[in-house]
Structure 1
Amino acid sequence: MTEKQAAGRLWLLLVVLASLSMLGPFSIDTPFPAFTRMGNEFAVDADQMQLVVTAYMLAFAAMSPFHGPISDAVGRRPVMLAGLSVYALASIGCALSQSLPMLLGFRVLQGLSAGGSVIVSRAVIRDMFEGAQAQRLMSKVTMIFGVAPAVAPIVGGWLLTIGSWRAIFGFLVVLAVGLTALVVFALPESHPPQRRTAFNATTLLGSLVQAGRSPAFHRVSWAASLSFAGQFLYIGAAPIFVVDLLGKGEQDFWMFFVPMITGVVLGSAISSWTSGRLTINQLVSGAMVFALFGAVVNLLLGVLPGTQSLPYAVIGPALIAIGTGASYPAFQLTLLDMFPATRGATVSLFTFFTLVLNGLAAGFIAPHVTGSLAAMALTALVAEILAMLFWVSHLRHRPGAGGRIMGKRAEPVRPT
């Protein structure tokens, strides 16, 4: 294979993995512009419509601990293909729903199946690459993945101009079928039989327990999850933030998502560029300080006279997103290196923590803090402060953890 062919295959792999990761944000964000129409048809208010997000997120979270361990036992591709097939059927059910309870039932089925591709695709990167190359690829996947929340509501708004809200779920059916084709024809199996674990309940649950009993795993997981929660609060409550607080319409979600995702892409680019130049500790610490700075700016703009409207209202979330985009790839690789033999289980448990927190934020915290820009900003600041406390605790307990230069050969971190 020539160098040019190898580079082409690497870019194809990058596109496939990023596309698989994008299924999650498309599932959440594409229906946002249709919330008003759906609420009118089902005769429910905005708070009840938030259940469309919560049902998906909590179902995703409930199943997320199992996708990874199963892929450790049977391989990555079978889990992805099974998940995408069920997701396509669930999306058809969403498109045909005649009531909010019926829609929520199929959203639960979407959430239960989506992790087969979204979660397992992250383990594929660490299966196939090490050190600086893994860091760069994870950052590029995050960069491409970061575009999805900006594109998804725009696609949803465009679909509403040519059809009803049901067309949005028809689009998700087509997306699932396209991703299935990519897995079948373009994604090699990265977890060969000789590396697989036994396919039984004891082994599958044991791999989760091993990670779950590690204090280091918890410190890093909660630092990453809480840091992202400060950003996701705005994503999960986007219909309220854009329509109710900023007074915009169903075609205007781009005014929020474009700055937000620009921040994610910029942060991911920083993460890729610093590979081999900064230690993981240095990168994550600097990124989290920047996210905390963004949360403080966000609060100030939310309370000062004359700054509680566009464009000021989106500056803070965008700054938080830069910090999150820079730290998240390093967080994921740090966790994956803690348990090299059961990477699927590790990324599953981490995803579980993140999604439970995000689901609770969207369904139970958001309705109580979305009455004003200041209340949302204060909640985001609290999340960033808690994230920083967990990270500082991790550094104090493991001052050398992740301290290697990104670009050296990755050595497993011994959890303590």
Structure 2
Amino acid sequence: MSASVSTRRLTWLLAGLSMIGPFCIDTIFPAFLQMGAQLDAGPLAIQQTISVYLIAYAAMSIVHGPLSDAIGRRSVIVGGMVVFTLASVGCALSKDLPTLLAFRAVQGLSAGAGQIVGRAAIRDLFHGDDAQRLMSQVSMLFGIAPAIAPIVGGWILGWGEWPVIFWFLTAFSAVLLLATWLWFPETNPPAARMPLVARSLVRDYAAIFMNPRFQRLAAAGSFNFAGMFLYIASAPVFVMQHLHLGEGDFAWLFIPTIGGMVTGSYLSGRAAGRMSGDRSTSIGFMIGGIGAVLHIAYAAFADPFTIPWAVLPLFLTGVGVALVFPILTLAILDMYPRQRGSASSLQAFTSLVVAALVSGAMSPWLSHDPLHLALGSAALTLLGWMFWRWERNVCRRLPATPSEVAVVESPNQL
């Protein structure tokens, strides 16, 4: 098998593993009303099916990476897919909300294995421009998932009740499990592995987390993504209450959002080796900022609140997020070449904690008013940009360590 075919297969497999997360969240959005009625739960209680999942995902994300540093990338992904498949069966068979929430938590504990460990695997195999290109390609394919997931969820509801969605997730994860078993290479050989010792793990995590540069880069990426995720977490209210659309119309929100992410990922891959990461990141934040301003302007002055104009700024938001993400992620991974799994885990944990707070607190608080939603999204994007500017100012003022010099001076990094 040629190298190009192997890379293509790996790209699709990693993208599929990354899709588990958005599919697990977005396919159930159209079923919220039905789930609430059948489980005797209000909208806020049903919203916790997302928050519980994200909290569990975030908690386990700090384990996936170092576990893969110790026992190998492939074993962690295979184990995660086995647990996720069984948890999806449990969700499908749940008869009350507490049981469903318990299995949603188990889904969250296992769903991140493919995405988090997959990022480290990309950096294991590829360097420089090639790493950015593959990361962008995976992001581009991954970006399709949130667009089609609610559409798939609405289509499934036309064939049955809400448990069928979880049977679909069971089948999807089983296929990925088989594909991983057959085709995923072990990218972390025994000679490169590090022992998994609790005291060392805590010490390493503390060292990474207390690194001011890691904090700035992780915060910049997390808050920038959160500006878009606020709309995703608010999708049921935004689509069905503000846009006055039905359960099968979530595509109006997700297609422009994910279309922007796919476009931004494509542009990021094309820019690798042709444009500095500094400039690409600046352009990404600028485009995201324009989208935020347009959101605020439309929400403030539009009457009535209609499609497609209400959702078109989300395209720019998605472009901005996708341009920024690969560069910040690779910069973090390059800071810790022997602990890429741990660095990827801690970055994911940071993003997921922010996403869980957005889903569990900001979305219920702001989603009742489109203007409040737009202002909240803009504030998150602005906060991400401020952390990134802080990072750039520090890099210009202070001498960097040798590893940071390599990252900063690389033509496709920060």
TM-score (structure 2 length as normaliser) = 0.96
Pairwise CA RMSD of aligned residues?
A: 1.4
- CA offset at residue 405 of structure 1? 4.2
Q: CA deviation at 1:143?
A: 0.1
In structure 2, the partner of 1:310 is 307
| Separation (CA, whole Å) in 1 of partners of 2:343 and 2:7 | 25
SS at match of 1:162: coil
Correspondence 1:263 to 2:260? yes
Q: Could you tell me how far apart the structure 1 residues matched to 2:361 and 2:318 are?
A: 22
Which of 278, 284, 287 aligns to 1:290? It is 287
Q: Counterpart of 1:110?
A: 107
For 1:35, the equivalent position in structure 2 comes to 32
Residue type at the aligned position of 1:177: A
Measure how far apart 1:210 and its partner are.
2.1
1:404 counterpart letter in structure 2 = E
Name which of 227, 234, 237 aligns with 1:237: 234
Distance in 1 (CA, whole Å) between partners of 2:201 and 2:193 is 11
Residue 204 of structure 1, CA deviation = 2.4
Map 1:4-403 → 2, pairs under 5 A: 5-306=2-303, 308-399=305-396, 402-403=407-408
Please report the TM-score for the alignment, with normalisation by the length of structure 1: 0.95
Following superposition, the deviation at residue 132 of structure 1 comes to 0.4
Q: Distance in 1 between matches of 2:222 and 2:305?
A: 27
Q: What's the offset of the Cα at 1:131?
A: 0.5
Q: Which amino acid aligns with 2:331?
A: T
The question of whether the paired residues in 1 share the 8 Å contact of 2:59 and 2:109 is answered with: yes
Residues 197 and 203 in structure 1, CA contact (< 8 A), matched pair in contact too:
no
d(CA) in 1 for partners of 2:80 and 2:204? Answer: 21
How many residues are paired up?
Answer: 406
- Segments ≥4 residues shifted beyond 4 Å: none
User: Which amino acid in 2 is paired with 1:52?
Assistant: T
Q: Which residue of 1 aligns with 2:409?
A: 404
Aligned-partner residue type, residue 51 of structure 2: T
Give the counterpart letter for 1:128 in structure 2. L
Deviations 1:24-60 (A, max 9, x none): 1111111111111001111222222110110100110
Specify whether residues 388 and 235 from structure 1 end up closer, same or farther in structure 2 by C-alpha distance, changes over 3 A only: same
Contact 1:143–1:268 at 8 Å: present in 2 too? yes
395-404 vs 118-127, which deviates more? 395-404
Q: Equivalents in 2 of 1:167, 1:336: separation in Å?
A: 38
Compute the displacement of 1:286 (Å). 1.5
Distance 2:315 2:250 in 1: 14
Structure 1 unmatched ranges of 5 or more: none
Find the aligned partners of 1:59 and 1:389 in 2 and give their Cα distance: 29
Deviation at 1:307, TM superposition (A): 6.1
Q: 2:119·2:344 contact (CA, 8 Å) conserved in 1?
A: yes
Identity %, equivalent residues: 40
Structure 1 SS opposite 2:140? helix
Return the alpha-carbon distance in structure 2 between the equivalents of residues 219 and 251 of structure 1: 39
Residue identity in the other structure for 1:135: Q
Q: Tell me, in whole angstroms, the C-alpha distance in 1 between the residues paired with 2:205 and 2:173.
A: 28
CA distance in 1, matches of 2:204, 2:121: 18
Which secondary structure does the structure 1 equivalent of 2:186 belong to? coil
Q: Partners of 2:42 and 2:207 in 1: how far apart?
A: 43
Q: CA deviation at 1:331?
A: 1.1
CA distance, structure 1, for counterparts of residue 48 and residue 85 of structure 2: 21
Query: Which whole-Å CA distance do the structure 2 matches of 1:113 and 1:189 have between them?
Result: 19
Paired residue secondary structure (1:312): coil
